[in-house]
Amino acid sequence: MGLFARQIVAELDAIKGQALYRQLRTIESAHGPRVDFNGRSMLMLASNNYLGLASHPALKRAAANATEQYGTGAAASRLIAGNLRVLSDLEARLAQFKGVEAALVFGSGYLANIGTISAIAGREDVILSDELNHASLIDGCRLARAQIMVYRHCDIDHLQALLRQSRAARRRIIVTDSVFSMDGDLAPLVEIVELARRHNAAVMIDEAHAVGVLGHKGAGLASALGLEREVDIQMGTLSKSLGSYGAYVAGSRALVDLLINRARSFVFTTGLPPASAAAAIAAIDLIEAEPQRIKILWDNACYLRQELARAGFRLGASATPILPVIVGDAQPALDFAEGLLRRDVYVLAIRPPTVPLGTARLRVTATADHTRADLDEALRAFIAAGREAGAIAK
Ligand SMILES: *Cc1c(COP(=O)(O)O)cnc(C)c1O
């Protein structure tokens, strides 16, 4: 073996030695309450398909129609020749849905976050970032070359202290998940907005797990709190509750115009495929027309949370349908997940660096299209596999 090949193998061995090795698993069916995996039908409790829209007939029809009308690809960056009508239609729909002036669609949430943060912040600026923010926000902060001040998770006093320390900056931007993706808790947005106003700072939130989940029309945390106009930048994805692919940034017209000019992950990349855009429009229409899906999602999540707690599992402080079942070390978390797979329940162990060291967990999500019988079946498997892996008493 050459030097490079040996180094790679050694690196992989080190990852395996820490029980942090990751592997792709192949699913052979569409996403739904059950999926086909390893030749078996499994209950799916690991997806972000909260409302069950990823294989909804209305979305599939919209995607198929858009493909017929516009073809399969946007064919260029949107600034060159790729700004298909369906993308502008989606942006108008998103702006209305989020209660703001304008929205801009990106190829994914990762691209939206790295492009936006690096477009609005530079060397003279300070970004104040929650310590549990999503990796794409962290990477955006790094790319911006701004000074990054990390505040303790949801700690308003710490945030305030950092705001006091950073008065000399040209611009200060507070960046936070609105729903934290691995814990399911909420950012203290009312207090953050209040602090930002007092210190003349801007606020950017990532609503990836809030859209389709929070607010009576599913428009996210800012909307649920009536803070659409106070939050400067609302980012969200089309790929979770909305069952499609892509992401958006919503805010003022000026913000969107600046991003069109400055966000490199918008300028130097091809426009979203028409099928994805049309499916996202159909998803927003559906959520607004049938908000009861959101209620079913919450009923299912609350039932699962209550029964997991009753069985003795250690649950994190979630306030949303994301249920973190905390295990601690990586290896027992893996064993627990394996035990569930053997019982035809698809749940994934989340390990560092996705979560802090010593907080490996199973991240469990029920969706709106699970039945009570599905959840009871999952609970039986959790109890059996949890005992086996030592996550609850035998
Ligand atoms: C999933 C996620 C993203 C990334 O979105 P993609 O469209 O999957 O790239 C960004 N932020 C948060 C909080 C997420 O959970």
Give me the CATH number covering residue 310.
3.90.1150.10
Distance 107 CA to ligand 1 centre (A): 11
State the catalytic residues: 181, 209, 240
| Measured distance CA(112)–CA(28) in Å, rounded | 29
For the entire predicted model, the pTM comes to 0.97
| Amino acid code (one letter) for 199 | H
Which ligand 1 atom minimizes the distance to the CA of 134?
13
Q: Would you state the pLDDT for residue 41?
A: 97
Q: Are residues 71 and 164 in the same domain?
A: yes
Q: Are residues 155 and 98 in the same domain?
A: yes
Token look-up 């020749």 returns 81
Per-residue confidence at 260, pLDDT binned at 50, 70, 90?
very high
Q: What number is the average pLDDT over the span 319-339?
A: 96
Sign of the alpha-carbon torsion through 99, 101, 104, 109: negative
H/E/C letters for each residue in 3-39? HHHHHHHHHHHHHHHCCCCCCCCCECCCCCCEEEECC
Tell me which residue of 101, 97, 70, 117 sits closest to 266, measured CA to CA.
Answer: 117
CB of 316 within 6 A of ligand 1: the answer is no
Print the domain residue range for 157.
Answer: 57-289
- Could you give the residue ranges of the DSSP H alpha helices within the chain? 3-17, 57-70, 85-98, 109-120, 135-144, 156-165, 189-199, 221-224, 253-262, 264-267, 274-289, 292-310, 330-342, 372-388
Q: What number is the average pLDDT over the span 115-123?
A: 98
CB of 247 within 6 A of ligand 1: the answer is yes
Residues 26-59: tens digit of each pLDDT: 999 999 999 999 999 999 999 999 999 999 999 9
Q: Are residues 101 and 218 in the same domain?
A: yes
Q: Are residues 103 and 220 in the same domain?
A: yes
pLDDT at 358 over 90: yes
Tell me which residue of 322, 277, 262, 15 sits closest to 140, measured CA to CA.
Answer: 262
CB of 206 within 6 A of ligand 1: the answer is yes
pLDDT at 216 over 90: no
- Ligand 1, from 110, 141, 177: best to mutate by most atoms within 8 Å of Cβ? 110
Distance 110 CA to ligand 1 centre (A): 6
Write down which residue in 254, 289, 324 finishes a domain.
Answer: 289
* Residue nearest to ligand 1 atom 8, measured at CA: 109
Residues 288-313: tens digit of each pLDDT: 999 999 999 999 999 999 999 999 99
Per-residue confidence at 106, pLDDT binned at 50, 70, 90?
very high
Which ligand 1 atom minimizes the distance to the CA of 240?
1
Q: Would you state the pLDDT for residue 70?
A: 97
Which ligand 1 atom minimizes the distance to the CA of 246?
7
Write down which residue in 271, 289, 307 finishes a domain.
Answer: 289
CA distances from 219 to 109, 131, 232, 266, 305 (A): 16, 25, 16, 23, 23
Q: Would you state the pLDDT for residue 94?
A: 98
* Residue nearest to ligand 1 atom 10, measured at CA: 109
Q: Are residues 132 and 207 in the same domain?
A: yes
Is 379 within the bounds of a domain?
yes
CATH code, domain carrying 64? 3.40.640.10
Per-residue confidence at 105, pLDDT binned at 50, 70, 90?
very high
Q: What number is the average pLDDT over the span 258-283?
A: 98
CB of 47 within 6 A of ligand 1: the answer is no
Q: Are residues 67 and 161 in the same domain?
A: yes
For all residues of the chain together, what is the average pLDDT? Answer: 97
Per-residue confidence at 205, pLDDT binned at 50, 70, 90?
very high
Is 205 within the bounds of a domain?
yes
Q: Would you state the pLDDT for residue 394?
A: 82
Tell me which residue of 270, 278, 284, 280 sits closest to 106, measured CA to CA.
Answer: 270
Distance 237 CA to ligand 1 centre (A): 6
With a pLDDT cut of 90, the percent of the chain lying above it is 98
Q: Would you state the pLDDT for residue 286?
A: 97
pLDDT at 144 over 90: yes
pLDDT at 71 over 90: yes
Q: Would you state the pLDDT for residue 266?
A: 98
Distance 47 CA to ligand 1 centre (A): 12
Q: Are residues 225 and 305 in the same domain?
A: no
Distance 50 CA to ligand 1 centre (A): 14
Residue 151 main-chain phi, psi, to 5 deg: -105, 150
CB of 181 within 6 A of ligand 1: the answer is yes
Q: Are residues 149 and 24 in the same domain?
A: no
The vertex-54 CA angle with 49 and 58, nearest 5°, equals: 135
Indicate the angle between helix axes 156-165 and 189-199, nearest 10 degrees.
20
CB of 177 within 6 A of ligand 1: the answer is yes
CB of 116 within 6 A of ligand 1: the answer is no
CB of 97 within 6 A of ligand 1: the answer is no
With a pLDDT cut of 70, the percent of the chain lying above it is 100
Token look-up 């600046």 returns 258
Write down which residue in 260, 289, 318 finishes a domain.
Answer: 289
